[in-house]
């Protein structure tokens, strides 16, 4: 679609932009993206969207990104930014083991914004929803000196082996559980570091791709629920910081074997021993970390669910909320940073 404006500034006003975005949406037939069929009863263009509820329980999450904090508008990678914003929300649904349904998108639009920017941004979001589930059903557009985007996403729980809707919680880690991750860590952080260095090579290209196009673990999340896993979260802020949240919520302590943390070959070849720091503190790979009993983990492995055991939940419960990292020599390791704090960057 050719963007156009009907005022002199070239900047669409709120109503024009909503109308244009509404056209973008309908042009893409986003309703078709929903597995459940014709569940969007009315979309953008009324006071509220009307949708059918696919289950008796609903998951709700929201995640915002801000120019200069979570992305750089100067890079003009609008498709990628849209993709990643959708993925950060999808990943929260994956972390509960849920299935994504409906998204509301709020755009904070700075002076001089172009429709093309937002068309590309929507393409990125829609591509992620098309691949992993969910669809945009409405939103808001507001003027803001700083560009921001907020997505609110609903989903519904997957079912357990008895067909009951079930979610994975941060509160359910049990002493003696093994701690597992669903894939290699640190690649996205490595890609970001590679971007800053600006020295292209095959390894950096792969890491940069991981940085721009992470995938939420929707499918494996559902499989974990069906298999009986009850404690998980997504690693969005960094392994250590996120594990501390599980430890605090579940009132347990956790010990991680540093040498067991899975790392991408490219991360090791590019960063050597620095790779482990990226894996410990780098978020945005959107892998899941979960805890489960040894028999259950054996069962997951037998069923070819990709996982790596990286540690265990301690039997000592007091004081709780601690995450210990043991290095290759059996010594305690102190990471340089634990995670990513959006208010202190």
Q: Within positions 66 to 105, which residues make up the interface with its own copies, using CB under 8 A?
A: 66, 68-70, 91-93, 95-96, 98, 102, 104-105
56 touches its own copies (CB under 8 A): yes
Please say which residue, 236 or 312, places its beta carbon nearer to its own copies: 236
Please say which residue, 50 or 328, places its beta carbon nearer to its own copies: 50
CB of 11 to its own copies, least distance (A): 7
Cβ pair 217, 225 in contact under 8 A: no
341 touches its own copies (CB under 8 A): yes
CB of 267 to its own copies, least distance (A): 25
Quote the tokens at residue 262.
Answer: 């899975």
Among residues 179, 233, 268, 270, the one that binds its own copies under rule CB under 8 A: 233
Instruction: Report DSSP state, residue 43.
Output: -
42 touches its own copies (CB under 8 A): yes
196-277-168-66 Cα dihedral, nearest 10 degrees? -30
CB of 26 to its own copies, least distance (A): 14
Q: Distance of CA 16 to CAs 115, 137, 148, 188, Å?
A: 10, 18, 19, 37
138 touches its own copies (CB under 8 A): yes
106 touches its own copies (CB under 8 A): yes
35 touches its own copies (CB under 8 A): no
Residues 6+ apart with CB under 8 A from 331: none
Residues 277 to 306 in contact with its own copies, rule: CB under 8 A = none
How big is the site for its own copies, counted in residues (CB under 8 A)? 73
Cβ pair 180, 288 in contact under 8 A: no
Distance, CA of 116 to CA of 130 (rounded, Å): 20
Question: Integer distance in angstroms from the first to the last C-alpha of the chain?
Answer: 38
Cβ pair 109, 144 in contact under 8 A: yes
Among residues 1, 142, 259, 328, the one that binds its own copies under rule CB under 8 A: 142
Please say which residue, 46 or 199, places its beta carbon nearer to its own copies: 46
């Amino acid at each position: 679609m050719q963007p156009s404006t009907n005022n002199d500034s070239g900047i669409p006003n709120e109503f024009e932009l909503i109308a244009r975005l509404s056209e973008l949406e309908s042009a893409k037939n986003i309703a078709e993206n929903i597995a459940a069929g014709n569940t969007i009863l009315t979309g953008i263009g009324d006071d509220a969207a009307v949708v059918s509820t696919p289950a008796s329980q609903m998951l709700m999450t929201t995640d915002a990104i801000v120019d200069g904090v979570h992305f750089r508008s100067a890079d003009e990678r609008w498709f990628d930014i849209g993709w990643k914003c959708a993925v950060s929300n999808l990943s929260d649904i994956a972390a509960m083991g849920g299935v994504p349904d409906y998204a509301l998108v709020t755009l904070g639009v700075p002076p001089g914004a172009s429709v093309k920017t937002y068309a590309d941004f929507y393409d990125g979001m829609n591509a992620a929803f098309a691949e992993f589930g969910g669809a945009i059903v409405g939103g808001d557009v507001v003027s803001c000196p700083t560009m921001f985007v907020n997505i609110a996403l609903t989903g519904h729980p997957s079912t357990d082996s008895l067909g009951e809707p079930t979610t994975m919680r941060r509160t359910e880690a049990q002493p003696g559980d093994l701690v597992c991750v669903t894939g290699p860590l640190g690649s996205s952080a490595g890609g970001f570091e590679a971007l800053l260095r600006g020295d292209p090579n095959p390894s950096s290209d792969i890491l940069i791709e991981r940085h721009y196009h992470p995938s939420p673990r929707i499918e494996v999340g559902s499989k974990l629920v069906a298999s009986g896993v009850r404690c998980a979260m997504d690693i969005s802020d960094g392994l250590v910081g996120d594990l501390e949240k599980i430890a605090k919520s579940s009132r347990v302590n956790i010990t991680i074997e540093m040498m067991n943390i899975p790392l991408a070959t490219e991360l090791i070849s590019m960063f050597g021993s620095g790779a482990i720091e990226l894996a410990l503190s780098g978020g945005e790979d959107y892998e899941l970390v979960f805890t489960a009993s040894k028999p259950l983990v054996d069962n997951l492995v037998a069923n070819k669910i990709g996982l790596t055991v990286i540690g265990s939940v301690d039997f000592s419960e007091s004081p709780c909320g601690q995450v210990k990292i043991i290095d290759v020599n059996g010594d305690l390791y102190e990471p340089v940073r634990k995670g990513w704090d959006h208010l202190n960057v």
